[in-house]
A and B are shown apart, each in its own frame.
Chain A
């Protein structure tokens, strides 16, 4: 990656606001909703009351972004890949009026990728993202340890570092600077996050929507030393991580040996958009005769079969578009490092075609292997 690459995503114009990042974002979204500039906001928020959990919501009520509202736009947590959610929202056509979405870079990339696959529509979607310091694993969202962690998280963010407890996938993420966001909230390596905030207005739309915020407009190239440093650290960690997992057939058989076949990885994968996954379809429902035939060849065989076949097949289908968001690892009840393996394979594949998923909506996807599994008959 060339020098300064991480900052290439930023337009020269940016808005400096004398207010904490969290407040700024809340304020921005609240005013957008209040003024009716946006019809709704997709962001994280509390569910099930104070003791409850966290989920994405489509917020209509501005109060959600008030001081003690339910919304938690910048929470370092990812209960679902919002890219998939945006696709679901716009699957049947663009939204009539603007909708803002606060997403992480990998979620943004996923959405772009889905748009390329005509599974979503960018029109009228205001994309707000941030320089990402990673998110905590799902299970930390359950026992409340996430809450306790937050102060440390933001401290280290100010220092341009990642907390050791964020998901390995994030610590190994090279694409933590959003590309194609209308507004980017500068977080990683920014001093005084609780009193200061910098909004990069990357597009006209971004400028148009954030224009009313009080602050000073600054232009000109901006030093991104902290980002570069983080990038190097993450690259290092990534190599380590990849080295840790083998992707030879034998490794696969070993690693996926404890797969329980829930296909949760597929369900939460934003890129796996098929209405009915090939590996859940009739094509993979075997008659008893098949098992008996196999049995004749081997001494014994696993039932249900196709465990590794599923993983390899899914790789073949989506690795080229894998945005490395890590949802699959997070969701796996058998603690299999799915994401690491898929990113490793994906990265290789993407390198071959010099393709970065979700970087640019105009960029063609080199090879697509999905269509055959589409069930047009159940299409609506």
Chain B
């Protein structure tokens, strides 16, 4: 019996969303079990992690499309009851109670709120949770609700049922994905920081929430009294909190820094101090962010211990802390912002009872070794915060990595792509525009004079028909509208309804059912632009008319075109045969796609000298499975000769020792790795007792040890030349330090910031083991670093004038990109390097962008089918390297091998009037997706429809309108614009 194809997703953390996105796009059904009562109740936890002060992830997740295609089954107030069976054939039982308001039927008319008799605070017992972002989420406050049912009666679409029955549902699924979300520490966990004890202490997540609602303006930090604070403390609580209460993901100190910078932006005069123990920004661009804060005049105070005592009445809080030097200080601020970590997941016990997954010593979900997401139980996966304190990029990568890892348990895709509608070409017909004005089930009637508007609309030149419709957002009304369009015999349609941002799909469905291409139609945000925001009847009429006039002018000049399609090659090219490359190759091959693996050296495996035994074994295993696979063609001592084409259609030539081989591929994985940076100075190379961590590891393996060992961190990292944190050095150094301690050595670590991260808190362990730490002011690279001197027989490390004798000096050197190779490859692939010299992510110039874009953009737009993985992308640990590879594979699996794909996201894309195109190439330069190329023979631009997201940059830069968007041509735009102003 074939395996089940559906996946159960428990919880909605970012990883869960990402997985759902990928599964839906790939064509697997999924069940979203949401413990909360609406779409993403944990949004604010997400915000707390993503200090961008906004998050639109749920908006980018095409829930409506998935719902429509039957891919998604979303369940609320859900609770998992039982899990039986095994991987590939799980039988799950859960209960759920749908939320009172069904988003997908709700038209957001607010009548329920108007009729609700129960006043609660400023609102009613049923209210909108605006924080829910992309669409308003109507929530009933059952504490106060009297169940009078008034709202239910008034709801025009029957979307609202106050009492929903609790249902018990059973389902067969192939795999289970545990994605329970980030949980913030409770107020009690934070009592040492005075939370809840006075007006002047607040969580960062709360500031983020207020920022979203007050639009990043000063109000987000205004004190209850209405006063604007002038002194701020931003405190990274996990650095000072009791052990085991909260855990830190490595983004946290960046969150603090980012908040501080934001404060400086809106209150340039304010005094902002960031309290932390160490700055632990180990991700892309994080060091630059730190330097930016210093430039912005943010004070960064490092403390050993810290507590906050707020004044209960006066808006003031006293920060008591001891400096690293041990002297205790006190600072008084008007507002203390707590950047909190995450508590261990509350659901672990329950989950292990149901599924058999195990918790680790810290209470997070345990994963099997060398797996990114798979738990001890076959077919049960866990992603993101559930598995430990994680930063967003990793959480998001988990999502796709899960897709990769669960493939082997899943059956065939079980979501059939919808059939293409048959549209009629209206060319030659006289233009007949129909204007359909939505009354939103009658509720607009008393807001403005719709019949009057219809009259005026009908009188517009070119309009042959105008009428009021009930709506176009529910099954019946969509059908009805389609009917009316047919009957009225129009061949152009203007729909004055509400937000196409959410409902375009529905409107498209209506017009296409009526046989018209969306190119012949325009959707107006009648509700958002007129009804909900204005009151003056005359003004509303005028504005509505202007909008309709513009739309009419636009559709009058619309032309029917059939959507473009493109094919996507089902083969993959992997450059680099190290851990990342091997992982990518094996995973892709495992899914039945041919792979070509290119390795520069004469054997696979990459740099193994830094690996421990298990890791070496793991790599060996990969190599043998590569050799065993019939799907993988492997070329050693080979390199990429030339590459042409674009995502889905690459043509590459590989230079091998014998003859060049030409290869076609849909995607390319760049896994060319990086190098250990070799230290300058510090007597390295001059004195055998000065060594790198890698060399230390070798010596320790050889059983050597020493009495006094000094370690110097950040050697060749976070400098002007190497402007980033190499991420791995701290954990590695601390591991070594602990081992040395166990062998009785005195270990002193000279550091700028200890940026250890991850599940095991090596920092704490090291301290407990008695490793001594001495900070040096490394922000000043010139003078701050310690100096290594010969001292008689031994060595001494001199930091800030003090001498510390040492037998060994171990330098924690960073990881540097293989500049030469990377530049050549970057040139060849036309894929950018970032300012750090690694291969850039899709877009990662801003912190956390990476997370959001990776989540929200199908790769084929962002990275043109090229995936930097492992060390080629950024310094990564062994496990993280595997993760990046599997994430990339997961993203590739979404599209690879698909044929005749319409362009992503849009039915229609940019196009070119070739007889007008001068081939000047400015549009090629500005196209963010490499979706255009100059045909050297014809000297005109050609479109690669698959890559085009129809952003229109090409249209704006093209001086003579040779470039145009099929759904908004040049000759439409001016006419429409003029019409607005009549």
Direct contact of A and B (CB under 8 A): yes
Q: Which residues of A come within 8 Å of B, CB atoms?
A: 96, 276, 281-282, 375, 377-378, 380
B129 within 8 A of A: no
B915 contacts across to A, CB distance below 8 A: 276, 281-282, 375, 377-378
Q: Provide the bound-state CA to CA distance between A184 and B914, in Å.
A: 47
Q: CB < 8 Å: which of A96, A377, A380 contacts B914?
A: A377
B320 within 8 A of A: no
14 sampled A-B residue pairs with Cβ under 8 A: A96-B461, A276-B915, A276-B916, A281-B915, A282-B915, A375-B915, A377-B913, A377-B914, A377-B915, A378-B913, A378-B915, A378-B916, A380-B557, A380-B971
Question: Interface residues of B, CB < 8 Å — how many?
Answer: 7
The smallest C-beta distance from B368 to any residue of chain A, in angstroms, reads 60
CB-CB nearest in chain B for A380: B971
A377 contacts across to B, CB distance below 8 A: 913-915
The smallest C-beta distance from B775 to any residue of chain A, in angstroms, reads 67
Q: Provide the bound-state CA to CA distance between A375 and B913, in Å.
A: 10
Q: Provide the bound-state CA to CA distance between A282 and B915, in Å.
A: 7
Q: Which residues of B come within 8 Å of A, CB atoms?
A: 461, 557, 913-916, 971
The smallest C-beta distance from A306 to any residue of chain B, in angstroms, reads 18
Main secondary structure of the interface of B (DSSP, over half): loop
A378 contacts across to B, CB distance below 8 A: 913, 915-916
The smallest C-beta distance from B72 to any residue of chain A, in angstroms, reads 42
Q: Provide the bound-state CA to CA distance between A96 and B459, in Å.
A: 13
Q: Provide the bound-state CA to CA distance between A197 and B26, in Å.
A: 83
The smallest C-beta distance from B412 to any residue of chain A, in angstroms, reads 44
A281 contacts across to B, CB distance below 8 A: 915
CB-CB nearest in chain A for B914: A377
Q: Provide the bound-state CA to CA distance between A276 and B557, in Å.
A: 20
B913 contacts across to A, CB distance below 8 A: 377-378
Residue among B461, B914, B915, B971 with the highest chain A CB neighbour number at 10 A: B915
Q: Provide the bound-state CA to CA distance between A298 and B916, in Å.
A: 32
CB-CB nearest in chain B for A281: B915
B971 contacts across to A, CB distance below 8 A: 380
A276 contacts across to B, CB distance below 8 A: 915-916
Q: Provide the bound-state CA to CA distance between A282 and B557, in Å.
A: 26
CB-CB nearest in chain A for B938: A282
B461 contacts across to A, CB distance below 8 A: 96
Q: Provide the bound-state CA to CA distance between A20 and B970, in Å.
A: 48
A96 contacts across to B, CB distance below 8 A: 461
Q: Provide the bound-state CA to CA distance between A276 and B914, in Å.
A: 13
The smallest C-beta distance from A99 to any residue of chain B, in angstroms, reads 15
CB-CB nearest in chain A for B962: A378
Q: Provide the bound-state CA to CA distance between A281 and B916, in Å.
A: 8
Q: Provide the bound-state CA to CA distance between A377 and B915, in Å.
A: 8
The smallest C-beta distance from A58 to any residue of chain B, in angstroms, reads 15
The smallest C-beta distance from B735 to any residue of chain A, in angstroms, reads 66
Other CB < 8 Å A-B pairs besides A96-B461, A377-B915, 9 of them?
Answer: A276-B915, A276-B916, A282-B915, A375-B915, A377-B913, A378-B913, A378-B915, A378-B916, A380-B557
CB-CB nearest in chain B for A282: B915
B914 contacts across to A, CB distance below 8 A: 377
Q: Provide the bound-state CA to CA distance between A375 and B461, in Å.
A: 28
The smallest C-beta distance from A226 to any residue of chain B, in angstroms, reads 46
The smallest C-beta distance from A278 to any residue of chain B, in angstroms, reads 11
B557 contacts across to A, CB distance below 8 A: 380
The smallest C-beta distance from A330 to any residue of chain B, in angstroms, reads 27
Q: Provide the bound-state CA to CA distance between A375 and B917, in Å.
A: 13
Q: Provide the bound-state CA to CA distance between A96 and B461, in Å.
A: 9
The smallest C-beta distance from A304 to any residue of chain B, in angstroms, reads 15
Q: Provide the bound-state CA to CA distance between A40 and B620, in Å.
A: 86
B916 contacts across to A, CB distance below 8 A: 276, 378
CB-CB nearest in chain B for A375: B915
CB-CB nearest in chain B for A96: B461
Residue among B557, B914, B916, B971 with the highest chain A CB neighbour number at 10 A: B916
CB-CB nearest in chain B for A378: B913
By Cβ-Cβ distance, the 8 closest A-B pairs, closest first, are: A380-B971, A375-B915, A378-B913, A377-B915, A378-B915, A378-B916, A380-B557, A377-B913
Q: Provide the bound-state CA to CA distance between A276 and B913, in Å.
A: 13
Q: Provide the bound-state CA to CA distance between A313 and B900, in Å.
A: 46
Q: Provide the bound-state CA to CA distance between A281 and B461, in Å.
A: 35
The smallest C-beta distance from A260 to any residue of chain B, in angstroms, reads 21
CB-CB nearest in chain B for A276: B915
CB-CB nearest in chain A for B915: A375
A380 contacts across to B, CB distance below 8 A: 557, 971
The smallest C-beta distance from A88 to any residue of chain B, in angstroms, reads 14
Q: Provide the bound-state CA to CA distance between A282 and B913, in Å.
A: 12
The smallest C-beta distance from A245 to any residue of chain B, in angstroms, reads 35
Q: Provide the bound-state CA to CA distance between A224 and B914, in Å.
A: 56
Q: Provide the bound-state CA to CA distance between A302 and B915, in Å.
A: 26
Q: Provide the bound-state CA to CA distance between A72 and B246, in Å.
A: 85
The smallest C-beta distance from A293 to any residue of chain B, in angstroms, reads 18
The smallest C-beta distance from B520 to any residue of chain A, in angstroms, reads 14
The smallest C-beta distance from A83 to any residue of chain B, in angstroms, reads 24
The smallest C-beta distance from B308 to any residue of chain A, in angstroms, reads 68
Residue among A96, A276, A375, A378 with the highest chain B CB neighbour number at 10 A: A378
The smallest C-beta distance from A93 to any residue of chain B, in angstroms, reads 10
The smallest C-beta distance from A107 to any residue of chain B, in angstroms, reads 27
Q: Provide the bound-state CA to CA distance between A133 and B916, in Å.
A: 42
CB-CB nearest in chain A for B917: A282
The smallest C-beta distance from B144 to any residue of chain A, in angstroms, reads 60
Q: Provide the bound-state CA to CA distance between A377 and B561, in Å.
A: 13
CB-CB nearest in chain B for A377: B915
Q: Provide the bound-state CA to CA distance between A1 and B869, in Å.
A: 88
CB-CB nearest in chain A for B557: A380
Residue among A375, A377, A380 with the highest chain B CB neighbour number at 10 A: A380
Q: Provide the bound-state CA to CA distance between A282 and B919, in Å.
A: 12
The smallest C-beta distance from B428 to any residue of chain A, in angstroms, reads 13
The smallest C-beta distance from B557 to any residue of chain A, in angstroms, reads 6
The smallest C-beta distance from B67 to any residue of chain A, in angstroms, reads 39
Q: Provide the bound-state CA to CA distance between A281 and B913, in Å.
A: 13
The smallest C-beta distance from B683 to any residue of chain A, in angstroms, reads 63
CB-CB nearest in chain A for B916: A378
The smallest C-beta distance from B496 to any residue of chain A, in angstroms, reads 24
Residue among A276, A282, A377 with the highest chain B CB neighbour number at 10 A: A282
Q: Provide the bound-state CA to CA distance between A73 and B317, in Å.
A: 82
Q: Provide the bound-state CA to CA distance between A282 and B962, in Å.
A: 14
Q: Provide the bound-state CA to CA distance between A378 and B913, in Å.
A: 7
The smallest C-beta distance from B295 to any residue of chain A, in angstroms, reads 52
Q: Provide the bound-state CA to CA distance between A58 and B239, in Å.
A: 76
Q: Provide the bound-state CA to CA distance between A378 and B963, in Å.
A: 11
The smallest C-beta distance from A277 to any residue of chain B, in angstroms, reads 12
Q: Provide the bound-state CA to CA distance between A81 and B461, in Å.
A: 29
CB-CB nearest in chain A for B972: A380
The smallest C-beta distance from B692 to any residue of chain A, in angstroms, reads 58
Q: Provide the bound-state CA to CA distance between A378 and B916, in Å.
A: 8
Q: Provide the bound-state CA to CA distance between A276 and B916, in Å.
A: 9
Q: Provide the bound-state CA to CA distance between A380 and B557, in Å.
A: 7
The smallest C-beta distance from B492 to any residue of chain A, in angstroms, reads 14
